[in-house]
Amino acid sequence: MNLETKICQNCKNPFTIEPEDFLFYEKIHVPSPTWCPECRMVRRMVWRNERNLYKRKCDLCKKDIISMYSQNILTPVFDNHCWYSDKWGSIDYGKKYDFSKSFFIQFSELQKKVPVQTLQGYQNQNSDFSNYSVYNKDSYLSHVIIKNEGVLYSRFLIRCFDCVDCTYVTGCNNCAHTIYAENSSNCAYGIRLEGCRDVLMSRYCTNCSDCYGCINLKNKNYCIFNAQYTKEEYEKKSLELILSPIEEQRERAITFFLSQPHRAVHVYESKDVLGDYVFNSKDCLNCFLANNIYHGKYLFETSRSIDQRREAIRDAYDCTIIVDVELFFEMIGGSKSYQCRFGVINDGSNYLEYSQFCYNSQNLFGCVGLRNKSYCILNKQYTKEEYESLVLKIIKHMNDMPYIDKKGRVYKYGEFFPPELSPFAYNETIAQEYFTLSEAEAKSKGYRWKDPEPRNYEIQIKNDQIPDHIKDVGDDIINKVIECGHAVGSPSTGSGQTAGAVCNEQCTE
CA angle, residues 199, 202, 208, in degrees to nearest 5: 45
pLDDT of 194 > 60? The answer is yes
pLDDT tens string 195-211 = 999 999 999 999 999 99
pLDDT tens string 257-316 = 999 999 999 998 999 999 999 989 999 999 999 988 999 999 999 876 555 555 578 999
* C-beta pairs of 299-305 under 8 Å, 24+ apart in sequence: 300/41, 301/156, 303/146, 303/156, 303/158, 304/158, 304/170, 304/279, 304/280
Would you call 76 helix, strand, or coil by DSSP? coil
Phi, psi of 394 (to 5 degrees): -65, -40
pLDDT of 455 > 90? The answer is no
Q: Which whole number is the average pLDDT over 32-46?
A: 97
On average, the pLDDT of the chain sits at 92
Count, residues in the chain: 509
For residue 495, name the pLDDT band (cuts at 50, 70, 90): very low
Would you call 308 helix, strand, or coil by DSSP? coil
Other beta carbons less than 10 A from residue 395's beta carbon: 17
DSSP conformation class of 475: G
**178/443 Cα distance (integer angstroms):** 35
Residue among 427, 343, 357 at smallest CA distance from 78: 357
**31/96 Cα distance (integer angstroms):** 26
Would you call 329 helix, strand, or coil by DSSP? strand
pLDDT tens string 349-383 = 999 999 999 999 999 999 999 999 999 999 999 99
Strands 4-7 and 14-17: antiparallel
**256/446 Cα distance (integer angstroms):** 45
Residue among 342, 391, 394, 347 at smallest CA distance from 372: 347
**303/168 Cα distance (integer angstroms):** 9
pLDDT for the residue numbered 151: 97
Biggest CA pair distance of the chain: 80
pLDDT for the residue numbered 487: 59
- CB–CB of 96/133 below 8 Å? no
CA angle, residues 425, 178, 148, in degrees to nearest 5: 75
Cα-based distances in Å from 245 to 28, 471, 472: 56, 11, 11
Q: Element (H or E) spanning 483, and its range?
A: none
Phi, psi of 251 (to 5 degrees): -60, -40
pLDDT of 52 > 60? The answer is yes
